[in-house]
Amino acid sequence: MDFDVKDRGLAGKGKLRIEWAAQSMPVLRSIQERFAVEKPLKGIRMAACLHVTTETAALAKTLKAGGADLRICASNPLSTQDDVAASLAIHDEIPVFAIKGEDKDTYYRHIHSALGHSPQVTMDDGADLVSTIHSDRRELLPGIIGGTEETTTGVIRLRSMAETGVLQYPIIAVNDADTKHLFDNRYGTGQSTVDGIVRATNRLLAGSNFVVSGYGWCGRGVAMRAAGMGAKVIVTEVDPLRALEAVMDGYRVMPMAEAAGIGDFFCTLTGDIHVLRKEHFQAMKDGAIISNSGHFNVEIDLEALAEMAAKRRPIRDFVEEFQLADGRRVYVLGEGRLINLAAAEGHPSSVMDMSFANQALCSEYLAKNHATLKKQVYRVPLEIDKDIARLKLASMGVDIDTLTDEQVKYLNSWEMGT
């Protein structure tokens, strides 16, 4: 079997860590048990471009249990957990092409390897499979029945492809399920981003000025958790509604030009380019720590920072010091890549349980319904979203109320008034 991982010798460690993660993924486990019996993905060739983590391993085993012929590559050069990649290849016989720290050429070579069996279904986290297929591998298009997309940035790109008539097969936007973005993007990114910053720096957040750029679901989560650790959070935004929400959530809101000179920590989560740039680096305090938790490594203008720097050196794992001409130092975490996956382990398993339950059930949905789908970006069917919420609550031992007949009648009537 063809695969490319850093070190097969890490497989034993990976197996144990995968087992640990799976213990917190009861919803995915119940899907895996059903898939093993029903085989809804029997013989379907799938390529998944995901962060290769213990949680992704649990998803991969579920898809395989469902009968899929699966290949996996990384969706970010720094997010692969090499022990997990080794275990999936050695113990589960899943072709994995992913090495932490791989260069750009290797990253794209691995994407092409994952496409090596001419997949019928693609599973993306950032749309790299879809964009590679639509630009370099168009011969694969006729065989593809559909795909799924995990993240906000990917969904934005795919919607623009659909609107301009470029998209050539249906995509289900897993990110937009309520059981995905309300939990993974908020609580997952909130915890894992703070975890990444703390693991990389071992600095105290309490009492610091922590600038969060972007107040989408991910930014909301990071602001909430940084505040929970005692940081004084400042939010920067371009959207007036989100800015207003941040104000009423209790944070200071100001332009980055102002925040740049105040922040001790900065974290970008906007999905846009050069959110931190030359004019901001010029205003930063000595020792400012900057990081990104948005999907791509474009949010910090690292080229500008490199040009401004008189000296640069790695000072500890995942921390690079840039010394400016006047002696001030700015620290960049994880090369400006997703800090939660570069320096920590990504979102905790119990939240990925819901995200990946969506991925598994949407793959099944595509297998069953692809013939009726158009070249569009679809929402996750509401029944799937609600089922996952129900299963998650049940796994947590939480019961909820049901409407009485009188209440159902009331909600469906318009006659009853004041």
Tell me the pairing of strands 121-124 and 146-149: parallel
**With contact defined as beta carbons under 8 Å apart, do 88 and 112 qualify?**
no
Among candidates 184, 217, 171, 198, which has minimal Cα distance to 334? 198
Question: Does residue 100 touch ligand ADE according to CB under 6 A?
Answer: no
Q: How far is the CB of 157 from ligand ADE (least distance, A)?
A: 17
Residues 304-343 that bind ligand ADE (CB under 6 A): none
349-388 footprint of ligand ADE as x/- string (CB under 6 A) = ---x------------------------------------
Instruction: Tell me the C-alpha distance between 172 and 169, whole Å.
Output: 10
Question: Which one-letter DSSP state was computed for residue 266?
Answer: E
Nearest approach in angstroms of CB 160 to ligand ADE is 22
Q: Which residue of this chain has its Cβ atom nearest to ligand ADE in the complex?
A: 346
| Radius of gyration (C-alpha) of the chain in whole angstroms | 22
Quick note: the x/- pattern for ligand ADE over 3-42, rule CB under 6 A, is ----------------------------------------
Joined together, the tokens standing for residue 376 give 């569009």
Backbone angles phi, psi at 105, to 5 degrees: -65, -45
Query: Three-class SS of residue 50?
Result: strand
Q: Does 64 bind ligand ADE (CB under 6 A)?
A: no
Establish if 347 lies at the interface with ligand ADE (CB under 6 A).
Answer: yes
Task: Report residue 418 as tokens.
Answer: 């004041």
DSSP H or E segment with residue 83: helix 82-90
Instruction: Name the minimum Å distance from CB 318 to ligand ADE.
Output: 16
Q: 17 vs 157, which CB is nearer to ligand ADE?
A: 17
Check binding of 51 to ligand ADE (CB under 6 A). Answer: yes
DSSP class of 380: P
Q: Is 53 in the site for ligand ADE (CB under 6 A)?
A: yes
Q: Which is nearer to ligand ADE, 259 or 352 (CB)?
A: 352
The yes or no reply on residue 56 touching ligand ADE (CB under 6 A) is yes
Binding range to ligand ADE, per CB under 6 A, among 5-13, 279-287, 344-352, 377-385? 344-352
Residue 363 contacts residue 41 (beta carbons within 8 Å):
yes
Pick the closer one to ligand ADE by CB: 193 or 208: 193
CB nearer ligand ADE, residue 187 or residue 378:
187
Distance CA(334)–CA(319), nearest Å, equals: 6
Q: Does 45 bind ligand ADE (CB under 6 A)?
A: no
280 is a contact residue toward ligand ADE (CB under 6 A): no
**DSSP secondary structure, 180-202, as one string:** HIIIIIIIIHHHHHHHHHHHHH-
Report the C-alpha gap between 161 and 375 in whole angstroms.
Answer: 10
Q: Is 83 in the site for ligand ADE (CB under 6 A)?
A: no
Interface ranges with ligand ADE (CB under 6 A): 50-51, 53, 55-56, 188, 192, 346-347, 352
